[in-house]
Structure 1
């Protein structure tokens, strides 16, 4: 446990189940620490390797940290904003509250009320910022280029995973469910692969219990199409960067998304992207000149199939889009850059008068 007197930023995580928010915290905290941000986590569902404080440490929040007039509480959910308001406004503890919003829909009255009480608000995309009714700072998520980087040898990367080294591979990664558009990816591959014997497809990700029947229906559809050995469900993996490195094309088929890191993960591994226009995808990809991939309307199977065919059938365009995606991911979307921009928001609050 961290000494609370040394902690200047508290990052609560009040949800046990792994989610995108939890994953963001897990990836960001170590980078923030290397930048000198004195941040610690609070709550369940986080690895022991992260700096933690216990709930009993909250009793010390009436006292200032070393060398600062106050602390920052960085909430990412309603359930993390509410206790911070209690600590700050009822118990009069020395806190400023930051809230990060990734939502791209109209907020409930309750959420609007909570957000209005914040000392600073961060939006994860310009599209998200448009739904906020308070001033905000847009800080997009970054990618850890120490984990996500191109394969030195694409054929070897495929062989290491037991995939055919002589085939090109299209991939779709993430939870297997309707919202994620896994069925659209499968349907597009069923349409495309019979005419393209040099390509196969993989779906990497887990179907939770509520979505197992959905996954089984997709597997049955693939089998009925005679493509059981060319459209592969490979399950969930902790070494997901290795699977990206085996790809030649990534497809993000989501019907809805809050932010969505998968296109960025693909770009960082030099893989071109076809993505639906949801979440922050339109702000991650470059289309037209200097394209890193192709953006298509959500829920449009014909557009997805056509965009994938365009890249599959044009090797020069495929490779060039991958190279440009790598440059964009590393230059504009590093996780160190994200952490530094968040740190600037913290510093403004930490330096303010109580």
Structure 2
């Protein structure tokens, strides 16, 4: 698709793989804000939740067939993407996560202003030769990103320490604070203490550590319940590992009821960029417990770190922290209240969208993202 000569607005292409979870939500939130501001937005991805959500918002969606991980199909994926770029003719490309960042930069090679947003570095997810290869690529591919957008200062620091020489900008993740809100007290029936873990069932999110910690939690809080909300490649292994009392809710279309019902939301990740689940939970007024990894610690408000931060990969400290919070309702209430105020002031999605828009304006040479007529209608 060629840009109309009569339409001065630049076209933004969001390129994404994966198409579910936090990455997809970030893309949808940006797409929604950019469409509302009058930009022309195209989303290229391999279908799934992201494509359906983008179409519902009114964005143009282009199917880009690509697997989640690099492999022998990569050259064909890059060629398909190059053809798509020729058709769409974007004036700015925003590539999300490792796979889209790899294929996108190979296809664009600096010919169009390009932002790369890792959403957690690829080389943290793998070890050995694969991890070394991923790091080598990130160092080399940085030349084809006009800006690397990190969602936390810690993520940026990890890239710098790894020798990735890039122009970095930190834009913390944001969530819709008007959508994620506390439930009325009348909607929280008295029941057994409920711990909820929301996220893709995979090694990164660390649900196996929480499941291993759970018997010790039950020893001290016998009526406690644990619910894992989400789906993913580790589902069957976790079911085999988990005690019978652990519940698997699967993937849900609306996670808010689970946050609002929880006495404690836990995210025991092994690595993160900045997960949305703790932000969403805090916006719902719920206390959170996360691991001391990049991005996760930065999502917490000042003063939360002592009771709400545990070392990754260690069931013992995790069980102790979960138990301590379950046995202290006054502390949980205080943490929930402070967490909501923190998210409202620091992680509202409108702040995130405006920070990204400012980057776009900079990379487009200060060119307005919308026409003067549209700006007048927005502010009238």
- Aligning the two structures, in what range does the TM-score lie when normalised by the shorter sequence? 0.7 to 0.9
Cα offset for 1:84? 1.9
**Given the alignment, which residue of 176, 180, 199 partners 2:205?**
180
**Given the alignment, which residue of 187, 201, 213 partners 1:156?**
187
Alignment partner of 1:129 is 2:161:
no
* Structure that is richer in helix per residue: 2
* Residue-by-residue CA offset, 1:162-203 (whole Å, 9 max, x unaligned): xxx422211111122343221221232321224324532211
Q: Distance in 1 between matches of 2:207 and 2:288?
A: 15
Assess, with a 3 A threshold, how the Cα gap between structure 1 residues 19 and 83 changes in structure 2: closer, same or farther.
farther
CA contact (8 A) 1:13 1:22 kept: no
Q: How does 1:137-216 map onto structure 2 within 5 Å?
A: 137-153=169-185, 156=187, 165-208=190-233, 211-216=234-239
CA contact (8 A) 2:95 2:104 kept: yes
Alignment partner of 1:97 is 2:124:
no
* Residue-by-residue CA offset, 1:122-158 (whole Å, 9 max, x unaligned): 11111221214223110011111233111113x6256
- Residue aligning to 2:289: 274
- Residue aligning to 2:76: none
Number of residue-to-residue matches in the alignment: 320
Assess, with a 3 A threshold, how the Cα gap between structure 1 residues 326 and 19 changes in structure 2: closer, same or farther.
closer
**Given the alignment, which residue of 74, 77, 83 partners 2:94?**
74
CA contact (8 A) 1:259 1:280 kept: yes
Assess, with a 3 A threshold, how the Cα gap between structure 1 residues 140 and 16 changes in structure 2: closer, same or farther.
closer
Q: Distance in 1 between matches of 2:144 and 2:19?
A: 27
CA contact (8 A) 1:177 1:214 kept: no
- Residue aligning to 1:10: 12
Q: State the Cα RMSD in Å.
A: 2.8
Q: Distance in 2 between matches of 1:142 and 1:3?
A: 31
Alignment partner of 1:246 is 2:261:
yes
Q: Distance in 2 between matches of 1:173 and 1:16?
A: 17
CA contact (8 A) 1:293 1:321 kept: no
Alignment partner of 1:116 is 2:140:
no
Q: Distance in 1 between matches of 2:61 and 2:2?
A: 6
Return the TM-score normalized by structure 2: 0.75
**Given the alignment, which residue of 345, 350, 360 partners 1:346?**
360
**Per the alignment, in what secondary structure is the counterpart of residue 202 of structure 1?**
strand
Moved more, 131-140 or 332-341: 131-140
- Residue aligning to 1:58: 86
Return the TM-score normalized by structure 1: 0.80
**Given the alignment, which residue of 333, 338, 351 partners 1:319?**
333
Q: Distance in 1 between matches of 2:61 and 2:235?
A: 37
Q: Distance in 2 between matches of 1:3 and 1:263?
A: 40
Alignment partner of 1:49 is 2:56:
yes
